[in-house]
Amino acid sequence: MSDDNCNKGDILIVDDNHTNLGVLFDFLTNSGFKVLVAQDGESALQKAQLANPDLILLDVMMPGIDGFETCRRLKAKPSTRHIPVIFMTALSDTVDKVRGFSFGAVDYVTKPVQQEEVRARVTTHLTLRKLQKKLEEQNQQLQREIEERCQAEKKYRSIFENATEGIFQANLNGRYTTANPSLARILGYSSPEELITTIMDIGKQVYVEPMRREDLVALMQKYDTLNEVESEVYRQDGSTIWISENIDTVKDENGNLIYYEGTVAEITARRKDAVSLRDARKRAELLLLNILPQPVAERLKKGERTIADSFEAVTVMFADLVDFTEFSSQISPTELVEILNQIFSKFDRLAKQHGVEKIKTIGDAYMAVAGLPK
């Protein structure tokens, strides 16, 4: 088939009449076509197979296999069935013309042929063939795109169905429009379908904080993406958990929010660990403040070097009451507390007098430090 931009098309002329062949060959060649010739049906079949012409002008009455049989065989082969065939015939009977069309011909010209008519019909059917070929290519491209889209949808569906995180789409009316199995599991529903049909108002049925969804929608109007948004939510059974959402917004050309979509991960355990760590840190800080002066405790909290490493002149002193246990068993608790207060008050006055810093009293023991930097 011709791919030369200067060539209007490749034409195979099949005729046992040398004169007819010569006339048509010269005329079509001068009209810009590349012309091949064959003088019988067998050679026509071979040349059509090898050259793959754009169109065949086929004489009906030929020795050996005639034009009808030649056309039938052309249309029977996948490699040549697409080639348009125009019969050249001296037969004027309508039955013969209909027979030619039944074998797959697209048109016919009557002998003796009129050159201008031949050129017009050839040009028309080549144009139709080009349009048909273009349509076939577009259909093939469309089929490829459909197949690629189907594969992409299958891949997305697999990711959607098997993701460990919840995936959703939601509209501005407070309804989930799409949900995957993991979101249903996180919120305690048996299936995505049950979740979608049961939750009529995300703001009331999902978020524990009454205005939480409204606050999130306000942020969505302002920003295109919200990352790691943490919220306390209800499960179907009424229990509560904590989730983290990553939200992407879909807006119109004016920037108005149409709907939003995103992912959901349960973070209840992480939240509990964070709370436990925060409480432990607070307890540790209180313990430091009870044992050490606040400046020293603050320095230790910041990870600075220990006091002993930094200040060799620091002195730590302990005062302990001898035989306190035996003594305390001989008096009442009230008297014991009064005596301890008197003793420790004297220690406090001495510590203040000598610039010693009281650290802690533990039972009958008194702890103080000297030499700390101011």
Homologous superfamily of domain range 10-136: Response regulator (3.40.50.2300)
What is the average pLDDT value for the chain, to the nearest integer? 86
Range in 154-168, 205-219, 295-309, 357-371 with the lowest mean pLDDT: 295-309
pTM: 0.48
pLDDT class of 74 with cuts at 50, 70, 90:
very high
| pLDDT 10s digits, 4-43 | 556 789 999 999 999 999 999 999 999 999 999 999 999 9
Res 351: pLDDT:
76
Q: Which amino acid is at 173?
A: N
| CATH architecture, range 166-266 | 2-Layer Sandwich (3.30)
Rg, Å, the chain Cα set: 48
Res 367: pLDDT:
72
Secondary structure (DSSP) of 40-65: SHHHHHHHHHHH--SEEEEESS-SSS
CA 25 to centroid of chain Cα atoms: 60
- For residues 297 and 289, the answer to whether their CB atoms sit within 8 Å is yes
- For residues 129 and 55, the answer to whether their CB atoms sit within 8 Å is yes
Mean pLDDT in residue range 229-243: 96
Q: Domains of the chain: which residue ranges?
A: 10-136, 166-266, 305-370
Res 373: pLDDT:
59
Spatial neighbors of 53 by CB under 8 A, at least 6 apart, are 1, 9, 10, 11, 12, 36, 47, 83
CATH number 3.30.200.20 given to 305-370: no
Mean pLDDT in residue range 276-287: 75
